[in-house]
Structure 1
Amino acid sequence: MISIIMPVYNEEAAIGEALSGLLRNNNIEVIVADGNSSDRTVELAKRYPVKIIFSKKGRAQQMNAGAKAAAGRYLIFLHADCFLESGAIEAIKGAFNDGYAGGCLSCRINSPKIMYRLIEASGNIRARISKIFYGDQAIFARRDIFFKIGGFDDVALFEDILFSQKMKKEGRAAVLSKAVYASARRWERGGIIKTTFIYWLLTLGFYLRFPLVKLKRIYDEVR
Protein backbone atom coordinates (compact mmCIF):
# COMPACT_ATOMS: atom_id res chain seq x y z
CA MET A 1 0.00 0.00 0.00
CA ILE A 2 1.04 3.59 -0.61
CA SER A 3 0.60 6.24 2.06
CA ILE A 4 0.23 9.84 0.93
CA ILE A 5 1.26 12.35 3.58
CA MET A 6 -0.03 15.90 3.23
CA PRO A 7 1.41 18.53 5.60
CA VAL A 8 -1.08 21.36 6.05
CA TYR A 9 -1.35 24.70 7.77
CA ASN A 10 -4.35 26.95 7.15
CA GLU A 11 -5.25 25.30 3.84
CA GLU A 12 -9.04 25.57 4.04
CA ALA A 13 -9.18 26.93 0.49
CA ALA A 14 -7.34 23.95 -0.99
CA ILE A 15 -7.90 20.94 1.28
CA GLY A 16 -11.27 19.81 -0.07
CA GLU A 17 -10.24 19.68 -3.72
CA ALA A 18 -6.90 18.11 -2.78
CA LEU A 19 -8.45 15.25 -0.81
CA SER A 20 -11.33 14.56 -3.17
CA GLY A 21 -8.86 14.23 -6.02
CA LEU A 22 -6.58 11.84 -4.14
CA LEU A 23 -9.40 9.63 -2.94
CA ARG A 24 -10.33 8.72 -6.50
CA ASN A 25 -7.37 6.34 -6.31
CA ASN A 26 -7.67 2.83 -4.88
CA ASN A 27 -5.59 1.13 -2.21
CA ILE A 28 -4.03 4.26 -0.79
CA GLU A 29 -3.89 5.76 2.66
CA VAL A 30 -4.10 9.53 3.01
CA ILE A 31 -2.67 11.18 6.11
CA VAL A 32 -3.29 14.87 6.79
CA ALA A 33 -0.57 16.18 9.10
CA ASP A 34 -1.84 19.43 10.57
CA GLY A 35 0.48 22.01 12.08
CA ASN A 36 -2.06 23.65 14.41
CA SER A 37 -4.16 25.38 11.76
CA SER A 38 -6.28 28.28 12.96
CA ASP A 39 -8.81 28.08 10.13
CA ARG A 40 -11.25 25.33 9.04
CA THR A 41 -8.63 23.01 7.53
CA VAL A 42 -9.14 20.20 10.04
CA GLU A 43 -12.92 20.59 10.07
CA LEU A 44 -13.02 20.20 6.30
CA ALA A 45 -10.55 17.30 6.29
CA LYS A 46 -12.78 15.38 8.69
CA ARG A 47 -15.39 15.11 5.95
CA TYR A 48 -13.14 12.67 4.09
CA PRO A 49 -11.97 9.11 4.92
CA VAL A 50 -8.44 10.17 5.82
CA LYS A 51 -6.26 9.90 8.89
CA ILE A 52 -5.68 13.25 10.61
CA ILE A 53 -2.72 13.75 12.91
CA PHE A 54 -1.32 16.78 14.68
CA SER A 55 2.20 18.00 15.24
CA LYS A 56 4.11 21.19 15.85
CA LYS A 57 4.03 23.60 12.92
CA GLY A 58 6.90 23.00 10.53
CA ARG A 59 6.80 21.09 7.27
CA ALA A 60 9.62 18.69 8.22
CA GLN A 61 8.08 17.87 11.61
CA GLN A 62 4.64 17.39 10.09
CA MET A 63 5.90 15.09 7.33
CA ASN A 64 7.94 13.04 9.79
CA ALA A 65 4.91 12.69 12.05
CA GLY A 66 2.82 11.61 9.08
CA ALA A 67 5.40 9.01 8.07
CA LYS A 68 5.39 7.54 11.58
CA ALA A 69 1.61 7.22 11.45
CA ALA A 70 1.62 5.70 7.96
CA ALA A 71 0.84 2.03 7.35
CA GLY A 72 2.10 1.92 3.77
CA ARG A 73 5.33 0.38 2.57
CA TYR A 74 5.79 3.35 0.25
CA LEU A 75 5.45 7.04 1.11
CA ILE A 76 4.50 10.05 -1.01
CA PHE A 77 4.74 13.60 0.36
CA LEU A 78 2.28 15.94 -1.31
CA HIS A 79 1.53 19.61 -0.67
CA ALA A 80 -2.11 20.60 -0.30
CA ASP A 81 -1.95 22.99 -3.26
CA CYS A 82 -0.64 20.29 -5.60
CA PHE A 83 -2.49 17.51 -7.41
CA LEU A 84 -1.33 14.40 -9.23
CA GLU A 85 -1.73 13.65 -12.91
CA SER A 86 -3.89 10.63 -13.65
CA GLY A 87 -1.73 7.52 -13.50
CA ALA A 88 0.95 9.11 -11.31
CA ILE A 89 0.47 6.71 -8.41
CA GLU A 90 0.74 3.71 -10.73
CA ALA A 91 3.94 5.18 -12.16
CA ILE A 92 5.35 5.57 -8.66
CA LYS A 93 4.47 1.95 -7.87
CA GLY A 94 6.26 0.95 -11.05
CA ALA A 95 9.38 2.83 -9.98
CA PHE A 96 9.42 1.00 -6.66
CA ASN A 97 8.91 -2.33 -8.43
CA ASP A 98 11.91 -1.46 -10.61
CA GLY A 99 14.07 -1.10 -7.51
CA TYR A 100 14.20 2.66 -7.05
CA ALA A 101 14.72 3.96 -3.52
CA GLY A 102 12.50 6.94 -4.21
CA GLY A 103 12.27 10.00 -6.38
CA CYS A 104 9.83 12.63 -7.54
CA LEU A 105 7.38 13.48 -10.31
CA SER A 106 7.91 16.04 -13.04
CA CYS A 107 6.61 19.42 -11.95
CA ARG A 108 3.94 21.32 -13.85
CA ILE A 109 2.61 24.69 -12.75
CA ASN A 110 -1.15 24.98 -12.92
CA SER A 111 -1.35 27.97 -15.26
CA PRO A 112 -1.33 28.39 -19.06
CA LYS A 113 1.24 31.22 -19.03
CA ILE A 114 4.26 30.51 -21.23
CA MET A 115 6.75 31.74 -18.62
CA TYR A 116 5.78 28.84 -16.38
CA ARG A 117 6.81 26.35 -19.07
CA LEU A 118 10.37 27.70 -18.81
CA ILE A 119 10.33 27.42 -15.02
CA GLU A 120 9.04 23.85 -15.26
CA ALA A 121 11.62 22.81 -17.83
CA SER A 122 14.57 24.22 -15.88
CA GLY A 123 13.37 22.62 -12.65
CA ASN A 124 12.80 19.21 -14.20
CA ILE A 125 16.16 19.22 -15.98
CA ARG A 126 17.86 20.19 -12.71
CA ALA A 127 16.11 17.35 -10.89
CA ARG A 128 17.07 14.77 -13.51
CA ILE A 129 20.73 15.79 -13.48
CA SER A 130 21.23 16.38 -9.75
CA LYS A 131 18.66 13.98 -8.25
CA ILE A 132 17.83 16.82 -5.86
CA PHE A 133 14.09 17.32 -5.46
CA TYR A 134 11.86 20.10 -4.14
CA GLY A 135 8.80 19.51 -1.99
CA ASP A 136 6.33 20.56 -4.68
CA GLN A 137 7.58 17.71 -6.90
CA ALA A 138 5.77 15.05 -4.83
CA ILE A 139 8.82 13.39 -3.29
CA PHE A 140 8.36 9.65 -2.72
CA ALA A 141 10.46 7.09 -0.85
CA ARG A 142 10.42 3.54 0.40
CA ARG A 143 9.41 3.52 4.05
CA ASP A 144 12.47 1.54 5.20
CA ILE A 145 14.86 3.93 3.49
CA PHE A 146 12.97 6.96 4.81
CA PHE A 147 13.54 5.87 8.39
CA LYS A 148 17.05 4.56 7.76
CA ILE A 149 18.20 8.04 6.74
CA GLY A 150 16.31 9.75 9.54
CA GLY A 151 13.44 11.24 7.57
CA PHE A 152 13.39 14.98 6.97
CA ASP A 153 15.86 17.06 8.93
CA ASP A 154 14.04 19.37 11.34
CA VAL A 155 15.21 22.62 9.79
CA ALA A 156 13.50 25.88 8.92
CA LEU A 157 13.83 25.49 5.16
CA PHE A 158 15.23 23.21 2.44
CA GLU A 159 14.43 20.00 4.26
CA ASP A 160 13.58 18.65 0.80
CA ILE A 161 17.09 19.22 -0.57
CA LEU A 162 18.70 17.72 2.52
CA PHE A 163 16.44 14.67 2.28
CA SER A 164 17.24 14.20 -1.41
CA GLN A 165 20.96 14.33 -0.69
CA LYS A 166 20.58 11.57 1.88
CA MET A 167 18.21 9.43 -0.16
CA LYS A 168 20.31 9.27 -3.32
CA LYS A 169 23.15 7.76 -1.28
CA GLU A 170 20.90 4.79 -0.45
CA GLY A 171 19.88 3.80 -3.96
CA ARG A 172 18.66 4.94 -7.35
CA ALA A 173 16.37 7.98 -7.44
CA ALA A 174 13.82 8.44 -10.21
CA VAL A 175 12.37 11.53 -11.85
CA LEU A 176 9.19 10.27 -13.47
CA SER A 177 7.53 11.77 -16.54
CA LYS A 178 4.13 11.72 -14.85
CA ALA A 179 3.37 15.13 -13.42
CA VAL A 180 2.42 16.79 -10.19
CA TYR A 181 0.61 20.07 -10.80
CA ALA A 182 1.65 22.85 -8.42
CA SER A 183 -0.40 25.93 -7.68
CA ALA A 184 0.79 29.16 -9.31
CA ARG A 185 -0.37 31.20 -6.32
CA ARG A 186 3.15 32.05 -5.09
CA TRP A 187 4.23 33.44 -8.44
CA GLU A 188 0.92 35.19 -9.10
CA ARG A 189 1.05 36.92 -5.74
CA GLY A 190 4.65 38.09 -5.92
CA GLY A 191 5.18 38.34 -9.67
CA ILE A 192 6.67 35.56 -11.79
CA ILE A 193 10.11 37.05 -12.43
CA LYS A 194 10.57 38.51 -8.95
CA THR A 195 9.44 35.33 -7.17
CA THR A 196 11.61 33.07 -9.34
CA PHE A 197 14.63 35.30 -8.76
CA ILE A 198 14.07 35.22 -5.00
CA TYR A 199 13.84 31.41 -5.04
CA TRP A 200 17.12 31.23 -6.94
CA LEU A 201 18.74 33.54 -4.38
CA LEU A 202 17.39 31.44 -1.50
CA THR A 203 18.81 28.28 -3.05
CA LEU A 204 22.16 29.99 -3.56
CA GLY A 205 22.04 31.10 0.06
CA PHE A 206 21.44 27.51 1.13
CA TYR A 207 24.49 26.23 -0.73
CA LEU A 208 26.56 29.13 0.63
CA ARG A 209 25.45 28.01 4.11
CA PHE A 210 23.53 31.12 5.08
CA PRO A 211 21.47 30.60 8.28
CA LEU A 212 18.29 28.74 7.33
CA VAL A 213 16.20 30.70 9.83
CA LYS A 214 17.05 33.93 8.01
CA LEU A 215 16.36 32.37 4.62
CA LYS A 216 13.00 31.15 5.93
CA ARG A 217 11.96 34.71 6.79
CA ILE A 218 12.57 35.73 3.19
CA TYR A 219 10.74 32.64 1.90
CA ASP A 220 7.69 33.40 4.04
CA GLU A 221 7.46 36.88 2.54
CA VAL A 222 6.96 35.50 -0.96
CA ARG A 223 5.02 32.33 -0.14
Structure 2
Amino acid sequence: MNTQPTHPRESTEAFNEAMRTQSIISVIIPTLNEAKGIVSLLATLAPVRKAGGEILIVDGASPDGTADIAAPHADRVLSAPRGRAAQMNAGAAAARGDLLVFLHADTRAPIETLLRLPDLLARSGRSWGRFDVRIEGRHPLFTLIAWSMSQRSRLTGIATGDQTLFVARELFERVGGYPEIALMEDIALSRRLKRDGPPLCVRDRVVTSGRRWESTGVVRTLLLMWSLRLAYALGVHPDRLSRIYGHRSRLD
Protein backbone atom coordinates (compact mmCIF):
# COMPACT_ATOMS: atom_id res chain seq x y z
CA MET A 1 0.00 0.00 0.00
CA ASN A 2 1.28 3.47 -0.86
CA THR A 3 1.61 5.43 2.39
CA GLN A 4 3.01 8.63 0.88
CA PRO A 5 0.80 11.66 1.61
CA THR A 6 -0.97 13.23 -1.32
CA HIS A 7 0.36 16.64 -2.33
CA PRO A 8 -2.39 19.33 -2.23
CA ARG A 9 -1.75 20.17 -5.88
CA GLU A 10 -2.21 16.52 -6.82
CA SER A 11 -5.52 16.45 -4.93
CA THR A 12 -6.73 19.57 -6.74
CA GLU A 13 -5.75 18.21 -10.12
CA ALA A 14 -7.47 14.91 -9.38
CA PHE A 15 -10.62 16.74 -8.32
CA ASN A 16 -10.60 18.88 -11.44
CA GLU A 17 -10.16 15.86 -13.68
CA ALA A 18 -13.02 14.07 -11.93
CA MET A 19 -15.26 17.10 -12.37
CA ARG A 20 -14.40 17.25 -16.05
CA THR A 21 -14.91 13.59 -16.90
CA GLN A 22 -17.17 11.98 -14.30
CA SER A 23 -19.43 14.62 -12.80
CA ILE A 24 -23.17 14.07 -12.57
CA ILE A 25 -25.28 17.21 -12.30
CA SER A 26 -28.13 17.32 -9.80
CA VAL A 27 -30.50 20.27 -10.21
CA ILE A 28 -32.37 20.93 -6.96
CA ILE A 29 -35.53 23.06 -7.10
CA PRO A 30 -37.36 24.15 -3.93
CA THR A 31 -41.04 24.76 -4.59
CA LEU A 32 -44.12 26.20 -2.94
CA ASN A 33 -47.32 26.76 -4.93
CA GLU A 34 -45.63 26.59 -8.34
CA ALA A 35 -48.32 24.53 -10.07
CA LYS A 36 -48.83 27.07 -12.87
CA GLY A 37 -45.23 27.16 -14.03
CA ILE A 38 -43.50 23.99 -12.88
CA VAL A 39 -44.14 21.91 -16.01
CA SER A 40 -42.72 24.57 -18.33
CA LEU A 41 -39.64 24.90 -16.10
CA LEU A 42 -39.05 21.16 -16.06
CA ALA A 43 -39.47 21.00 -19.84
CA THR A 44 -36.51 23.37 -20.21
CA LEU A 45 -34.44 21.05 -18.04
CA ALA A 46 -35.16 17.88 -20.01
CA PRO A 47 -31.68 18.00 -21.66
CA VAL A 48 -30.09 17.66 -18.21
CA ARG A 49 -31.85 14.34 -17.69
CA LYS A 50 -31.02 13.23 -21.21
CA ALA A 51 -27.35 13.92 -20.53
CA GLY A 52 -27.38 11.71 -17.42
CA GLY A 53 -28.12 14.36 -14.80
CA GLU A 54 -31.10 14.47 -12.50
CA ILE A 55 -33.82 16.90 -11.47
CA LEU A 56 -35.09 16.93 -7.90
CA ILE A 57 -38.16 18.85 -6.76
CA VAL A 58 -38.28 19.55 -3.02
CA ASP A 59 -41.76 20.72 -2.14
CA GLY A 60 -42.79 22.53 1.03
CA ALA A 61 -46.29 21.02 1.28
CA SER A 62 -47.84 23.09 -1.52
CA PRO A 63 -51.64 23.08 -1.30
CA ASP A 64 -51.95 23.66 -5.06
CA GLY A 65 -50.69 20.20 -6.06
CA THR A 66 -47.23 21.26 -7.25
CA ALA A 67 -45.66 17.94 -6.22
CA ASP A 68 -48.15 15.77 -8.11
CA ILE A 69 -47.94 17.94 -11.23
CA ALA A 70 -44.13 17.87 -11.20
CA ALA A 71 -43.72 14.15 -10.55
CA PRO A 72 -43.91 12.89 -14.18
CA HIS A 73 -41.30 15.43 -15.28
CA ALA A 74 -38.65 15.05 -12.55
CA ASP A 75 -36.45 12.23 -11.32
CA ARG A 76 -37.58 12.62 -7.73
CA VAL A 77 -40.13 14.69 -5.84
CA LEU A 78 -39.39 15.11 -2.15
CA SER A 79 -41.19 16.76 0.75
CA ALA A 80 -39.39 18.87 3.32
CA PRO A 81 -40.22 21.42 6.00
CA ARG A 82 -41.15 24.70 4.35
CA GLY A 83 -38.25 27.11 3.86
CA ARG A 84 -35.71 27.35 1.07
CA ALA A 85 -32.69 26.38 3.18
CA ALA A 86 -34.34 23.26 4.63
CA GLN A 87 -35.74 22.26 1.24
CA MET A 88 -32.44 22.68 -0.59
CA ASN A 89 -30.54 20.77 2.09
CA ALA A 90 -33.05 17.94 1.79
CA GLY A 91 -32.55 17.88 -1.96
CA ALA A 92 -28.78 17.84 -1.61
CA ALA A 93 -28.95 14.94 0.84
CA ALA A 94 -31.02 12.90 -1.61
CA ALA A 95 -29.10 13.83 -4.77
CA ARG A 96 -26.73 11.37 -6.41
CA GLY A 97 -24.74 13.96 -8.33
CA ASP A 98 -21.33 15.32 -7.40
CA LEU A 99 -22.24 18.78 -8.72
CA LEU A 100 -25.25 20.42 -7.06
CA VAL A 101 -27.15 23.21 -8.81
CA PHE A 102 -29.73 25.14 -6.76
CA LEU A 103 -32.36 26.62 -9.07
CA HIS A 104 -35.33 28.75 -8.02
CA ALA A 105 -38.66 27.75 -9.52
CA ASP A 106 -39.11 31.17 -11.16
CA THR A 107 -35.69 31.11 -12.85
CA ARG A 108 -34.57 29.68 -16.19
CA ALA A 109 -30.97 28.60 -16.70
CA PRO A 110 -28.98 28.55 -19.98
CA ILE A 111 -29.00 24.81 -20.56
CA GLU A 112 -25.89 24.47 -22.73
CA THR A 113 -23.84 26.35 -20.14
CA LEU A 114 -25.45 24.39 -17.32
CA LEU A 115 -24.30 21.14 -18.92
CA ARG A 116 -20.77 22.54 -19.27
CA LEU A 117 -20.42 23.50 -15.61
CA PRO A 118 -18.23 20.52 -14.64
CA ASP A 119 -15.74 21.41 -17.36
CA LEU A 120 -15.89 25.12 -16.54
CA LEU A 121 -15.17 24.43 -12.88
CA ALA A 122 -12.35 22.06 -13.72
CA ARG A 123 -10.72 24.57 -16.05
CA SER A 124 -11.03 27.35 -13.49
CA GLY A 125 -9.76 25.26 -10.59
CA ARG A 126 -12.74 26.35 -8.51
CA SER A 127 -15.37 24.36 -6.66
CA TRP A 128 -18.41 26.62 -6.69
CA GLY A 129 -19.95 29.53 -8.52
CA ARG A 130 -23.00 31.29 -9.85
CA PHE A 131 -24.41 32.84 -13.05
CA ASP A 132 -24.93 36.43 -14.07
CA VAL A 133 -28.63 37.29 -14.02
CA ARG A 134 -31.31 39.00 -16.09
CA ILE A 135 -34.61 40.06 -14.53
CA GLU A 136 -37.59 39.37 -16.77
CA GLY A 137 -39.99 42.27 -17.07
CA ARG A 138 -40.54 45.66 -18.67
CA HIS A 139 -39.44 48.00 -15.91
CA PRO A 140 -36.54 50.18 -17.12
CA LEU A 141 -34.60 49.64 -13.89
CA PHE A 142 -34.42 45.85 -14.28
CA THR A 143 -31.38 45.97 -16.57
CA LEU A 144 -29.46 48.20 -14.17
CA ILE A 145 -30.47 46.17 -11.11
CA ALA A 146 -29.39 42.90 -12.74
CA TRP A 147 -26.08 44.38 -13.87
CA SER A 148 -25.37 45.73 -10.39
CA MET A 149 -26.19 42.34 -8.82
CA SER A 150 -23.67 40.61 -11.06
CA GLN A 151 -20.95 43.21 -10.56
CA ARG A 152 -21.41 43.34 -6.80
CA SER A 153 -21.11 39.57 -6.70
CA ARG A 154 -17.84 39.69 -8.62
CA LEU A 155 -16.41 42.22 -6.19
CA THR A 156 -17.58 40.56 -2.98
CA GLY A 157 -17.59 36.86 -3.85
CA ILE A 158 -21.13 36.66 -2.46
CA ALA A 159 -23.91 35.10 -4.55
CA THR A 160 -27.69 35.23 -4.18
CA GLY A 161 -30.17 32.49 -4.87
CA ASP A 162 -31.50 34.33 -7.91
CA GLN A 163 -28.07 33.80 -9.52
CA THR A 164 -28.39 29.98 -9.29
CA LEU A 165 -25.59 28.76 -7.07
CA PHE A 166 -23.72 25.61 -8.04
CA VAL A 167 -21.22 23.76 -5.86
CA ALA A 168 -19.29 20.51 -5.73
CA ARG A 169 -21.03 18.11 -3.36
CA GLU A 170 -17.81 17.51 -1.41
CA LEU A 171 -17.46 21.22 -0.64
CA PHE A 172 -21.18 21.66 0.11
CA GLU A 173 -21.05 18.86 2.65
CA ARG A 174 -17.76 20.04 4.11
CA VAL A 175 -19.15 23.51 4.92
CA GLY A 176 -22.36 22.08 6.36
CA GLY A 177 -24.77 23.02 3.58
CA TYR A 178 -27.21 25.90 3.82
CA PRO A 179 -27.65 27.36 7.30
CA GLU A 180 -31.31 26.70 8.06
CA ILE A 181 -32.26 30.29 8.73
CA ALA A 182 -35.39 32.17 7.72
CA LEU A 183 -33.69 34.58 5.31
CA MET A 184 -30.22 35.29 3.84
CA GLU A 185 -29.36 31.59 3.61
CA ASP A 186 -27.68 32.21 0.25
CA ILE A 187 -25.50 34.98 1.69
CA ALA A 188 -24.55 32.79 4.65
CA LEU A 189 -23.67 29.85 2.40
CA SER A 190 -21.57 32.07 0.15
CA ARG A 191 -19.57 33.22 3.14
CA ARG A 192 -18.85 29.60 4.03
CA LEU A 193 -17.90 28.68 0.47
CA LYS A 194 -15.58 31.69 0.10
CA ARG A 195 -13.25 30.14 2.66
CA ASP A 196 -12.43 27.52 0.03
CA GLY A 197 -11.85 30.13 -2.67
CA PRO A 198 -13.70 32.66 -4.83
CA PRO A 199 -16.71 31.69 -6.94
CA LEU A 200 -16.67 31.02 -10.65
CA CYS A 201 -18.74 33.91 -12.03
CA VAL A 202 -20.33 32.63 -15.23
CA ARG A 203 -21.23 35.49 -17.56
CA ASP A 204 -24.03 33.59 -19.28
CA ARG A 205 -27.24 34.71 -17.60
CA VAL A 206 -30.05 32.98 -15.83
CA VAL A 207 -33.41 34.68 -16.32
CA THR A 208 -35.41 35.24 -13.17
CA SER A 209 -38.95 36.51 -12.89
CA GLY A 210 -39.56 40.12 -11.98
CA ARG A 211 -42.94 39.31 -10.42
CA ARG A 212 -41.73 39.84 -6.86
CA TRP A 213 -40.38 43.25 -7.78
CA GLU A 214 -43.44 44.34 -9.76
CA SER A 215 -45.97 43.17 -7.18
CA THR A 216 -44.58 45.37 -4.41
CA GLY A 217 -42.97 48.11 -6.51
CA VAL A 218 -39.51 47.95 -8.05
CA VAL A 219 -37.93 50.88 -6.19
CA ARG A 220 -39.57 49.87 -2.93
CA THR A 221 -38.31 46.30 -3.28
CA LEU A 222 -34.81 47.47 -4.15
CA LEU A 223 -34.64 49.70 -1.07
CA LEU A 224 -36.03 46.92 1.08
CA MET A 225 -33.42 44.43 -0.14
CA TRP A 226 -30.59 46.91 0.45
CA SER A 227 -31.81 47.62 3.96
CA LEU A 228 -32.19 43.91 4.78
CA ARG A 229 -28.68 43.10 3.59
CA LEU A 230 -27.25 45.98 5.59
CA ALA A 231 -29.16 44.89 8.68
CA TYR A 232 -27.91 41.31 8.24
CA ALA A 233 -24.33 42.55 7.90
CA LEU A 234 -24.82 44.48 11.15
CA GLY A 235 -25.96 41.34 12.95
CA VAL A 236 -29.76 41.49 12.90
CA HIS A 237 -31.17 37.98 13.31
CA PRO A 238 -32.61 36.39 10.12
CA ASP A 239 -35.92 35.64 11.86
CA ARG A 240 -36.47 39.33 12.43
CA LEU A 241 -35.43 40.12 8.86
CA SER A 242 -37.88 37.53 7.60
CA ARG A 243 -40.75 39.17 9.43
CA ILE A 244 -39.78 42.52 7.95
CA TYR A 245 -39.61 41.01 4.48
CA GLY A 246 -43.05 39.53 4.95
CA HIS A 247 -42.19 35.88 4.49
CA ARG A 248 -44.19 34.55 7.43
CA SER A 249 -42.99 31.00 6.76
CA ARG A 250 -43.54 31.07 3.02
CA LEU A 251 -41.30 31.16 -0.05
CA ASP A 252 -41.47 34.00 -2.56
Q: Which residue pairs with 2:101 in the alignment?
A: 76
For normalisation by structure 1, the TM-score amounts to 0.95
| Superposed structure 1 runs of 4+ greater than 6 Å apart | none
1:201 aligns with 2:227: yes
Counterpart position of 1:142: 168
Unaligned runs of 5+ in 2: 1-23
Cα distance, 1:146 vs structure 2: 0.3
Amino acid at match of 2:222: T
* Partner amino acid, structure 1, of 2:56: I
1:8 aligned onto 2:31:
yes
For residues 163-195 of structure 1, the C-alpha deviation after alignment (integer angstroms, 9 at most, x for no partner) is 001111113411101111100100110111111
Tell me what 2:7 maps to: none
Structure 1 match to 2:19: none
| Conserved 8 A contact 1:91-1:178 | no
Q: Deviations over 1:108-129 (max 9, x none)?
A: 1112432101101110000111
Q: Determine if contact 1:96/1:142 at 8 Å carries over to the other structure.
A: no
Question: Who is 1:95 aligned against?
Answer: 120
How does 1:1-223 map onto structure 2 within 5 Å?
1-25=24-48, 26-98=51-123, 99-220=125-246, 223=252
- How big is each residue's C-alpha offset from its partner over 1:120-141, in whole Å with a ceiling of 9 and x where there is no partner? 1110000111110001110000
Distance 1:107 1:49 in 2: 24
Asked if the contact 1:152/1:162 (under 8 Å) is kept, the reply is: yes
Is the 8 Å Cα contact of residues 56 and 95 (structure 2) preserved in structure 1?
yes
In structure 1, the gaps of 5 or more residues are none
Q: What does residue 11 of structure 2 align with?
A: none
What TM-score does the superposition give when structure 2 sets the normalisation length? 0.85
State the structure with more CA Rg: 2
Aligned length: 223
Query: Deviations along 1:32-83, whole A, 9 cap, x unmatched?
Result: 0111111110111012142111111111111011001001110000000000
Task: Give the letter for the 2:58 counterpart.
Answer: A
2:46 partner letter: L
Q: What's the CA shift for 1:219?
A: 1.9
Asked if 2 retains the 8 angstrom alpha-carbon contact of 1:105 and 1:180, the reply is: yes
Partners of 2:78 and 2:154 lie apart in 1 by 33
Give me the whole-angstrom Cα distance separating, in 2, the residues matched to 1:6 and 1:174. Answer: 21
